[in-house]
Structure 1
Amino acid sequence: MQSIKDTYQRITDTIVEQLEAGTKPWVRPWRGNVRSSLIPRRATGDAYRGINVLMLWISGQMFGYEENTWMTYRQAQDLGAQVRKGEKGTLVVKYGTFTPKEREDDEERSIPYLKGYTVFNVEQIEKLPDRFFGPVEEIPATPVPHLETVETFVKNTGAIVNYGGAKACYRPSCDDILMPDRERFDSEIHLYSTLLHELGHWTGAKHRLDRDLSGRFGSASYAGDELVAELTASFLCADLGVAHDPRDNTAAYLASWLSVLKDEKRAIITAAAKAQSAADYLHELSRAPGGGRGHSV
């Protein structure tokens, strides 16, 4: 059994990896469906509390889960369901105190305990009863304006942009950019800041500017390209006359990335140079006769 110290360390490592990668995974610039704003729930319907809420929010944001109900492997089996092969669970904890029998007369002798265990989101589980899936409710639609300057710029780069995902990301295997539906974004500022950030990642593909995109989440190389992408978005927003994400994420990103890359004093200079190259490259693609070879849908 893992010690309390080990469990605390796993929790701390999970959150630190997120922050060191320059990401606040519990904050995103688009709206989920109605379910996504709820406190995570157990299979019984009871709400999680404390650190478990944060851990499940982090996991939900990382993997794009819309549902907020979580259960153990055994709970799924007891319901006649099965966790899909290859799915990775999320750490949560049970904590409290107990008093050994020989100390039952001494309340001050209560011993705290913290036990870590693994849960899975219902979206990771097959053959669950329908009651574990909330009805999809329509998001109040507030049209996000189209900024033709940015739309034309992105289209002319040739980047393939697909809307309809649960998260925003560049997918090297597909060589495309996946975005949530436009209606999920709070404003055109959030939408285009996010799109141009992912376009920054798109430039790093081997057949483009050939940056290292192989880093795992939480690694220095991952954090480094996140910084390049964010600075690229900042440069492009300025070039195209678009306000950058007003939540002031850039300062938070820079602080955490500099912490991750503190052993390399030239990290910010290198990242800024790579971001400028990415922005220049995208401008060149957009100005090229006929633009690039892609499309947005």
Structure 2
Amino acid sequence: MKDRKSPADRITASIIEQLEQGVRPWTKPWASKAGGSVALPLRANGEPYQGINVVMLWLRGATEGYSGSRWMTYRQAAALGGQVRAGEKSTLVVYYGQSQAKGEPDPSAGDADARSFRFLKGYPVFNVEQIDGLDAEFYPTPVPAQEPDAAAEQARIASVEEFLAATGAQISWSGDQAYYAPGPDHIRLPERHLFRDIEQAYATAAHELIHWTGAKHRQDRTFGSKFGDPAYAREELVALSGQSAPSATLQ
């Protein structure tokens, strides 16, 4: 059965699904097989995607484990000598456009610009790792695996610990809950070994540290009176802004 949801509804549903699984789709949570820094998704002609398309393509790449940065339509792949493999599922991308309403202008409507309207339209694309037969330049080049540098890893961890200590925040790594308590003005975090990895531990610490900055005697942000109200939601979005910084430091 054909999906009759609008592009906006499909994007929203996809992001909510990832959030419910604990994935932040606006960050790229996996390392590139080709090494180097995180790259923007690219069109067939090499131009970078923009806006919500970046989030959607990173999200799909994370889910499927793609490391290729190029995405293209079925026809674009065919024009480049490639063939999308049978059974591969496409990913939705969107573009905004502007058009004019049909029919004769209504003089009483005033300015002719009032007849123009903007629209959102979606179309399917495939990652190069779903396509056979393209030139080698379209595919990611794997880099040889390297043994982790234990000394460098410890130095990176130490730098994050020094940063947390330099903030002056009272942080306790105990129990199994993460929160900032405004009254006593302290941060409680689960014990480090309960996290999947040290990056997740520091990302959680950064999230609660952002909440700590909003105290009345610091930035005086409104946290919200209850879970789910608009002020609470805004504060959570603010806290997310700092959550990926420690992970980036460790990469």
TM-score by length of 1: 0.47
Q: 1:14 aligns to what?
A: 14
Q: Is the 8 A contact 2:71 2:125 kept in 1?
A: yes
Does 2:106 correspond to 1:106?
no
Q: How many angstroms does 1:82 deviate by? A: 1.0
1:39-188 equivalences in 2 (<5 Å): 39-100=40-101, 102=103, 106-136=112-142, 143-145=148-150
Q: Is the 8 A contact 1:237 1:243 kept in 2?
A: no
Q: How many angstroms does 1:143 deviate by? A: 2.9
Given residue 70 of structure 1, which amino acid in structure 2 is its aligned partner?
W
- The one-character-per-residue Cα deviations of 1:13-66 (angstroms, maximum 9, x if unpaired) are 000000011122434275653466111110011111100011001011111111
Q: Do the aligned partners of residues 97 and 20 (structure 1) sit closer, same or farther apart at CA in structure 2, a change above 3 Å counting? A: same
Distance 2:23 2:64 in 1: 14
Q: Do the aligned partners of residues 108 and 67 (structure 1) sit closer, same or farther apart at CA in structure 2, a change above 3 Å counting? A: same
SS in 1 for 2:124: strand
Q: Do the aligned partners of residues 64 and 29 (structure 1) sit closer, same or farther apart at CA in structure 2, a change above 3 Å counting? A: closer
SS in 1 for 2:8: helix
Whose helix fraction is larger, Structure 1's or Structure 2's? Answer: 1
- The one-character-per-residue Cα deviations of 1:163-213 (angstroms, maximum 9, x if unpaired) are xxxxxxxxxxxxxxxxxxxx99x9789xxxxxxxxxxxxxxxxxxxxxxxx
Given residue 120 of structure 2, which amino acid in structure 1 is its aligned partner?
L
Q: Would you say how many aligned residue pairs link Structure 1 and Structure 2?
A: 169
Q: How many angstroms does 1:79 deviate by? A: 2.1
TM-score by length of 2: 0.54
Distance 1:88 1:36 in 2: 27
SS in 1 for 2:17: helix
Given residue 93 of structure 1, which amino acid in structure 2 is its aligned partner?
V
Q: How many angstroms does 1:238 deviate by? A: 5.4
Q: Which has the higher contact order (CA 8 A, sep 6+)?
A: 1
Distance 1:126 1:47 in 2: 22
Distance 1:246 1:137 in 2: 27
Q: 1:170 aligns to what?
A: none
Distance 2:88 2:205 in 1: 31
Q: Is the 8 A contact 1:41 1:47 kept in 2?
A: yes
Q: How many angstroms does 1:125 deviate by? A: 0.2
Q: Is the 8 A contact 2:82 2:132 kept in 1?
A: yes
SS in 1 for 2:7: helix
SS in 1 for 2:58: helix
Distance 1:79 1:243 in 2: 40
SS in 2 for 1:68: coil
SS in 2 for 1:39: coil
Q: How many angstroms does 1:135 deviate by? A: 4.1
Unaligned segments of structure 2, at least 5 residues? 106-110, 159-189, 209-226, 228-251
Q: Do the aligned partners of residues 98 and 29 (structure 1) sit closer, same or farther apart at CA in structure 2, a change above 3 Å counting? A: closer
The more displaced of 17-26 and 31-40 is 31-40
SS in 2 for 1:247: helix
Q: Do the aligned partners of residues 131 and 30 (structure 1) sit closer, same or farther apart at CA in structure 2, a change above 3 Å counting? A: closer
Q: 1:28 aligns to what?
A: 29
Unaligned segments of structure 1, at least 5 residues? 147-182, 190-233, 253-258, 260-297
- The one-character-per-residue Cα deviations of 1:225-281 (angstroms, maximum 9, x if unpaired) are xxxxxxxxx678159xx89621118989xxxxxx9xxxxxxxxxxxxxxxxxxxxxx
Bigger Rg, structure 1 or 2: 2
Q: How many angstroms does 1:133 deviate by? A: 2.4
Q: Is the 8 A contact 1:36 1:66 kept in 2?
A: no
SS in 2 for 1:44: coil
Q: Is the 8 A contact 1:35 1:68 kept in 2?
A: no
Distance 2:142 2:57 in 1: 20
Q: Do the aligned partners of residues 187 and 27 (structure 1) sit closer, same or farther apart at CA in structure 2, a change above 3 Å counting? A: farther
SS in 1 for 2:202: coil
Distance 2:119 2:68 in 1: 30
What root-mean-square deviation, in Å, do the aligned CA atoms of Structure 1 and Structure 2 show? 4.0
Given residue 128 of structure 2, which amino acid in structure 1 is its aligned partner?
V
Q: How many angstroms does 1:87 deviate by? A: 1.3
Given residue 17 of structure 1, which amino acid in structure 2 is its aligned partner?
E
Q: How many angstroms does 1:122 deviate by? A: 0.3
Identity of aligned residues (%): 39
